[in-house]
Chains A and B, each alone.
Chain A
Amino acid sequence: EIVLTQSPTTMAASPGEKVTLNCLASSSVSYMNWYQQKSGASPKLWIYGTSNLASGVPNRFSGSGSGTSYSLTISSMEAEDVATYYCLQLSSYPYTFGAGTKLELK
């Protein structure tokens, strides 16, 4: 089973600040998906295939990475970005999620 380790576990960012969330895989994966989940809501696909923004996702978000190291970047933090972000690998079974990064507003 591929273990995904997300860092940091929690972080607070100020409006306008650049934010980078990391996802490290225990073995190489072909690509990574990212999900945004707000409190009390279902997760939403946010980034797919490592770097493709899902429909409706603001272009201040971007994704990158390869092999075992992936990241989600927000170029300029906004209040609406407060949420928990999860990475998901679909390269091997069982599919596995990271434990999530909770992003708060400073």
Chain B
Amino acid sequence: QVQLKESGPGLVQPSQTLSLTCTVSGFSLTSNSVHWVRQPPGKGLEWVGAIWSGGSTDYNSALKSRLSISRDTSKSQVFLKMNSLQTEDTAIYFCTRWVRDWGQGVMVTVSS
């Protein structure tokens, strides 16, 4: 069945770079899009960006200058990199297939 699992550091220092991995199973990245969505503690959902089946990407314009999404299809992994982190980037980060099937999320705290 379709599964997605996020992984990455739980704590990142301000101004540093966040690197997250979404490992998927049960579907092919060359036939499906993977999106990243984040949720600050106690707040709502924010669409971060996506990588499409053909490998092209789209980003939230508010984050675009700091954000990169890529993939390794041979490993069934999607990567999110966000630089210049601030405390406002503290959130649970989810990866999702077509914004339909969701991973469990990974909590990222930006703090010194």
- Which residues of A are at the interface with B, using a C-beta cutoff of 8 A? 1, 33, 35, 37, 42-45, 48, 54, 86, 88, 90, 93-100
B104–A42 contact, CB under 8 A? yes
- Which stretch of B9-17, B43-51, B70-78, B83-91 is in the interface? B43-51
Indicate which residue in A43, A93, A94, A98 contacts B102 across the interface (CB closer than 8 Å): A43
Chain B residue at minimum C-beta to C-beta distance from A97: B45
Apart from the given pairs A94-B58, A94-B61, A97-B45, 4 other A-B contacts in the complex at a CB distance below 8 Å: A42-B104, A45-B99, A93-B58, A97-B44
Taken together as a complex, chains A and B put the C-alpha atoms of A43 and B37 apart, in Å, by 10
A94–B45 contact, CB under 8 A? no
Q: Which of B18-60 contact A (CB under 8 A)?
A: 35, 37, 44-47, 50, 58-60
Evaluate whether A97 and B61 lie within 8 angstroms (CB atoms) in the complex, with A42-B102, A44-B102, A88-B99 already known.
no
Evaluate whether A94 and B60 lie within 8 angstroms (CB atoms) in the complex, with A42-B94, A43-B102 already known.
yes
Chain B residue at minimum C-beta to C-beta distance from A99: B44
- Which residues of B are at the interface with A, using a C-beta cutoff of 8 A? 35, 37, 44-47, 50, 58-62, 94, 99-105
Indicate which residue in A44, A54, A94, A100 contacts B44 across the interface (CB closer than 8 Å): A100
B36 to A: closest C-beta gap in Å: 11
Evaluate whether A90 and B99 lie within 8 angstroms (CB atoms) in the complex, with A95-B47, A96-B47 already known.
yes
B47–A97 contact, CB under 8 A? yes
B103–A42 contact, CB under 8 A? yes
CB-CB under 8 A from B58, the residues of chain A are 93-94
CB-CB under 8 A from A42, the residues of chain B are 94, 102-105
CB-CB under 8 A from A33, the residues of chain B are 99
Taken together as a complex, chains A and B put the C-alpha atoms of A88 and B99 apart, in Å, by 9
